[in-house]
Chains A and B, each alone.
Chain A
Amino acid sequence: MTAAEILAVAAFAEGRHAQAFPSFGSERTGAPVVSYCRIDDAPIRTREPVMAPDALIVQDVTLVHQVDLFAGLSHDGYVLINTSRRFTELGFEDHFVDFDQERLLTCPATEIALEHVGRPMPNAALLGGFAAFTGQITLDAIQQAIRDRFSGVVGERNAAAAKAAFEFVTNAKEEFLHASTN
């Protein structure tokens, strides 16, 4: 939920309308949680869950065996998965045969968080990666929203994690383009 909230705050800072909300299951830290974020240029009235996302961020790749994570995702949707493995190494390439391959990406957000924040909290890194991946939000806005949420050194470290992931994903996109033109 923190990630969706930070994304909504960042979008608001850029003058857009945004709505972030959770879908709680069991109320305990570590339980599987889905949260949603809508970003629009017009006011958002709907209260239904996001059932056909334009982009999906997966914080914990092991959930793929418990939940139908990719339900409703359109074939030109963005998928960003937190893992140090490549997308093609995750064992579900068959599901994504018809998808826009340029929009399927992994990012080692937990490792980036461990390096910059010192704790396995991948939210900030995933949002930095999301900014580079989709161009829907700027890294600046993400970093500012992170600093609003976490004060002092924790905010700075998370902002650094976001920047590192932003650069990782920017490079990954270039690599993909390079590979596909060759």
Chain B
Amino acid sequence: MLRQIEGSRAIAETVALCRPEVVCAYPISPQTHIIEAIGAMVKAGTLAPCEFINVESEFAAMSVAIGASAAGARAYTATASQGLLYMIEAVYNAAGLGLPIVMTLANRAIGAPINIWNDHSDAMAVRDAGWIQLFAETNQEAADLHVQAFRLAEELSVPVMVCMDGFILTHAVERVDILDQATVDLLLPPYEPRQVLDPADPVSIGAMVGPEAFEEVRYLAHLRQLDALERIPVIAKQFAEVTGRASGGLVSSYRTEDAQTIIVALGSVLGTIKDAVDMRRDLGERVGVVGITSFRPFPGDAVREALRPATQIVVLEKAFSVGFGGVLSTDVAMSLQGEQHVLRNVVAGLGGRAITRRSLEELIATAVRGELPVLTFLDLDHEAVDRERTRMAGTRRSGPSAENLLRDRGTVGVSTSRSDS
């Protein structure tokens, strides 16, 4: 049913329709509304049978999900930012053990400096953990991806992370068509585990594996992710046939047919980019957008095909590898080996900095003129950075740069000197 609801609420209701048997989570902004709503449904008995387990940390949340999944239950959790880092050992284990847990990641920056707002640093920090990572552009897609995620995870015995932008999506109230139970049941058959802890048929899940077989186990995990490249479009197609709605898939293209410049991005910023592209198209600039829905596995062939029309590729991403540059752009560059594209990288929206259509339009115009540097930090206040560099050069005890920049901004009081604060 089409409703005007908060993104988190749409996720909670859709996850409930997926009939999870164990939900375990620890609250952290901006994920909290999702698990609060699921917890309320379990308590009210509208989501049953399901056990909602309050845990003492994110490490416990993922550990409980691992135990539940190994025992044959459909398990779900959600987290963000530091919460994801706190569970990271178990995140790797879930993937290494091949347990089809589904987790919502309400993307949020990682401290320090502590910051509750959106960027993609958390997702990138677990890029190599072995989870499938799907990025949602809208709350509709985020909701739909959860149904597809359970299906994909359980088919392949691989955990799936649905990444949705914290606050920007989780807290946005917009139109979402929530599926009905019969439709979800049609799309998502009951969970049939490939491995299960059963006293009547004992197996060891999580045995130590030495050099004699570790590489093969890892390679099998890689093959399952490559299998996912085949299955993701098929599941998206089935979803479209049943619901009439295009959600998921590997990549999506917008106005790329005759585009000379294509912008590549992940997540909700694609909407703002499309608006900017429409404005620049009206001025005659041949520009398009490619959104990457499946970040892991990375669909190199599909990306290369989608980017083929263009001569210039601008990868815009809400994360970067400090001391190097873009993360997504590296993957895009790898998939474009042998091609002749000019590749440009833009880091934007860190820690919740708004990515505005105006800035994007200026960026596109600069790119179309061929004047975009290899690496750009969108809307970076270079003067504020220079002032801090000057302070640092002027005195050894220049203090914490984060606080200095807040004082520079006037966000915190400028009167207190270091000695009396």
Interface residues, chain A, with chain B CB atoms under 8 Å away: 1, 4-5, 8-9, 11-13, 17-22, 24, 27, 43-49, 51
Contacts and interface: CB of A to CB of B under 8 A. Distances in A.
B168 A47 contact: yes
B353 to A, nearest CB: 11
Contacts of B269: 47
Nearest to B349: A47
Q: Determine which residue in B6, B29, B117 has the highest number of CB atoms from chain A within 10 A of its CB, and name it.
A: B6
B111 interface: no
Contact of A21 (B172, B272, B275, B357): B172
Q: Which 6 A-B pairs have the closest CB atoms?
A: A12-B4, A45-B271, A20-B173, A21-B172, A48-B356, A5-B173
A18 B272 contact: no
B245 interface: no
A17 B175 contact: yes
B171 interface: yes
A48 B165 CA distance: 13
Given A5-B173, A27-B116, A46-B275, 11 more contacts: A4-B173, A8-B174, A12-B4, A18-B175, A20-B172, A22-B171, A43-B175, A44-B174, A45-B272, A45-B275, A48-B355
A45 to B, nearest CB: 4
Nearest to A5: B173
Given A9-B4, A27-B29, A48 B354 contact: yes
Contact of B271 (A4, A21, A47): A47
Contacts of B151: none
Interface of B: 3-4, 6, 29, 116-117, 165, 167-168, 171-175, 268-269, 271-272, 274-275, 354-357
Contacts of A18: 4, 173-175
A155 B153 CA distance: 43
B272 A12 contact: no
Main secondary structure of the interface of B (DSSP, over half): mixed
B274 A51 contact: no
A13 B4 CA distance: 8
Contacts of B272: 45-48
A13 B5 CA distance: 12
Contacts of B355: 47-48
A43 B138 CA distance: 12
A20 B9 CA distance: 14
B252 to A, nearest CB: 13
Given A27-B29, A44-B174, A21 B167 contact: yes
A22 B275 contact: no
A9 B356 contact: no
A22 B172 CA distance: 7
Which of A4, A5, A45 has the most C-beta atoms of chain B within 10 angstroms of its own C-beta? A45
A8 B4 contact: yes
B149 to A, nearest CB: 22
A42 to B, nearest CB: 11
A143 to B, nearest CB: 16
A4 B168 CA distance: 14
Given A8-B173, A21-B167, A21-B172, A45 B356 contact: no
